[in-house]
Amino acid sequence: MTLLLTFLLVTFALFALFWGGTLVAQGYLYQQPTDRLPLRAAAAAALVGAFLTFWVWVDKRSPGKYDTFFEFAPYSTTTFTEFEAVRWTRDPAAGAKKVEFKKDAKGGPAETTARFKRAPGGATPKFVEERTGREFKLNDSDTMTAALLLKGPDGGAPVRFKADLKEDKRTGGLTYSGERRFTEENGSRYVRGDQLGVLYVPSNSVVVLALLINFLLFVVWFAAFWPVLRFGVGHALGLAAVFGLVTMLLVMPLLFKPNRAPRAIGKPEDGNPASSAGTRERPKIAPDADR
């Protein structure tokens, strides 16, 4: 019913725009408007209205996944409620001005792990250590989180997500990248340190389909102006570019808005993990596939 109402309202508004706008524009550009203008305006409005309603339907099924060119993100997301933090411990023998970590028998940084679980309640996910109840922190004066271990599929081996680190030119030690990102070893999925509880899963298919829908928007507008309303090809291209951009920047965000009800990241819903508002579909974690 909501989609039908969207189609009717959008189509009616476009019909008025096409009829009145074409009457004025073609009268100025071509001395007289095309024949059977009301019928052509209705056909053009139905064409564009049907496509915009289809896009709203797609967004309703996967909110935010196939957004406009300016907003869509090339990934899907899923949530997790527990993880293990792999930590490096700073070596006090290195001195206060130099940051070094304790070594293991092989000469690499010695690693310790601690399990964290999401605390119940709260709009923002909060993870606490299972043993001590302390809230998770990426680093402190003594330790640094070098990786996260997330559960594998069906209780399989944990999947390791390494911190994206860079050298701190001031101290010579290691520090996190801007997003404090943890990237899957031998994979492309990642977790952001400022959005714990959400796993990002890059998807080429999402990119291709989102770009295709955005491209088709301009094709539909061009079809409405050229063969249907009988504007010249050059004028139709210009009008399609203008109206396509206006649709992407102003119209579609308004039409998408009812599908983007705010939700707390990681908040359980009907017994299943829920994601943040506008995030993408939520597959299951696996080493080489969606979680």
Per-residue pLDDT tens digits for 68-90? 988 877 788 889 999 999 999 98
Q: Are 128 and 135 in contact (CB under 8 A)?
A: yes
**Band of residue 20 on the pLDDT scale cut at 50, 70, 90:** very high
Run of H or E including 15: helix 2-30
User: What's the pLDDT score for residue 265?
Assistant: 41
DSSP 50-76: HHHHHHHHHHHHSTTTT--TTT--SEE
Encode pLDDT of 251-274 as tens digits. 999 999 988 765 444 443 333 333
Q: Taking the model in full, what pTM does it have? A: 0.63
Residues 37, 21: contact at Cβ < 8 Å?
A: no
Neighbours of 270 (CB within 10 A): 5
Strands, DSSP E only, in the chain? 75-79, 82-89, 111-118, 127-129, 143-150, 159-163, 165-167, 174-176, 181-184, 190-192, 198-202, 268-269, 272-273
Give the pLDDT mean for 139-143.
85
